[in-house]
Amino acid sequence: MSKKSGKAYFMISAVAQKYDIHPQTLRLYEREGLLKPSRTEGNTRLYSEEDLEQLETILALTRDLGVNLAGVEIILNMRRKMEQMQSEVNEFMEYVKRELARGIDDWEHRLGTALVKSSPTDLVRASGEKPK
């Protein structure tokens, strides 16, 4: 394990041993674009905690669910897109909340500065009632 900018990084041999997989399997996952470990200046692969989480997902899909690598790639891409969409929905909801709060403040300000203070029910006549 090495440290780079305060984060822990693991070499391929340590990762292979920890997850009981062959280093060639890790190289295959990288070739397929499923893992993207960083590299040292000497070109040694370094796996971050995020890489290990991704590897755990890959192993769960392949070992536990029998998904092939093409399926893993599709699932990981869909997962990334769903996370991005969820982030966009959250952003939109925050925008709507801000706009609604601003609108309510604006209405309260308008009502507070109205020339005639009355409730909306005072302004509505009952049917059949003649104006005064």
| 105 burial level (CB within 10 Å; 0-12, 13-18, 19+) | exposed
With contact defined as beta carbons under 8 Å apart, do 19 and 55 qualify? yes
> For 2-80, which CATH class?
mainly alpha
Residues sharing a CB contact under 8 Å with residue 56, sequence separation 6 or more, in sequence order: 19
What's the token pair of residue 57? 């997902």
Q: Domain limits of the chain?
A: 2-80
pLDDT in tens, 33-70: 999 999 999 999 999 999 999 999 999 999 999 999 99
Tell me the pLDDT tens digit for each residue of 61-108. Answer: 999 999 999 999 999 999 999 999 999 999 999 999 998 888 887 777
Does the pLDDT value for residue 18 go beyond 70?
yes
Output the pLDDT for position 5.
64
pLDDT for 113 equals 74
